[in-house]
Chain A
């Protein structure tokens, strides 16, 4: 996508001879009228700048359509983007669980600190306070990740819009296109699995014959 955009940017640079202001200001209706006129009359009735602008636009559109097809937008919308948001939600859930476990343990330590001599108890409590402060991270990272999830949803919406604009159908039935098959050890490195897809230790033990 970024590649396509930078390419489009490079190509849309107006040539020094043409009038960049005019070329950039072409609105959709003008464009239609202008191209209709060109086909109707062999004589050019529009200036070179406008023709260049139209040609550039056509190239950009064609490139974008090709890029979108190459992007395998179906996979993106049906598999990759939902997969990414699931992974991020799993991050938030995991940090929340871990933070609660840390807080459980630290609250236990703080209770014990109350039974110790004042100097020892205070020293422990000071460290407990630092752990409480550090646990701020879960709120902050959770909010940051929620923002990224929002961005992914926007990307999803934009891809859908582009697919509609270019007449690329979203086909939920289509088999996901084959990603280049991983071989050897690389094929084994896909973890960590999401909660529903992960095997627990008992399942591993059973496979291992160690139950």
Chain B
């Protein structure tokens, strides 16, 4: 299955440095249409305005967390099928379980490397 590298990708993190890192790594992989949001509510507003093929989100953000964003996405008729990868420093089993129960497609623990990011995207979207 070929992945459309032109798809819109939404990345969400309250650390601007992390947004830049993820965006640059995505550019290296080949994704060029990358939008940014600094918390769940900003991300949700953007997702409702535009079609995204993938959402990559941090968890611990204010006012709306990544988990709340995931739940809102899964509860939205138009957005519920959007692949969602959590990228977070929360590495406890109960976090992973909670994210899975909310419908996350994959889970990357920080700090992460480019190979892991690419590998998880391939797991979720298919090889590219």
A residues at B contact (CB < 8 Å):
96, 99-100, 103, 106-107, 110, 125, 129, 132-133, 135-140, 142-143
Contact = CB atoms under 8 A, between A and B. Distances in A.
Nearest to B117: A133
Given A100-B16, A142-B15, A143-B60, A136 B21 contact: yes
B15 A138 contact: yes
B119 to A, nearest CB: 14
B21 A103 contact: yes
Contact of A133 (B16, B17, B20, B114): B114
B75 interface: no
Contact of B18 (A106, A107, A110, A139): A139
Given A103-B24, A129-B25, A140 B110 contact: yes
B13 interface: yes
Interface in B3-44: 13, 15-18, 20-21, 24-25, 28
Given A99-B17, A100-B17, A132-B21, A139 B113 contact: no
Contact of A129 (B13, B15, B16, B114): B114
B125 to A, nearest CB: 20
Contacts of A96: 15-17
Given A107-B24, A129-B25, 6 more contacts: A103-B24, A106-B24, A132-B24, A133-B111, A133-B112, A139-B17
B41 to A, nearest CB: 20
B122 interface: no
B124 interface: no
B97 interface: no
Contacts of A133: 21, 111-114
A140 B114 contact: no
In the A-B complex, the 3 residue pairs with the closest CB atoms? A136-B111, A99-B17, A139-B15
A154 B15 CA distance: 24
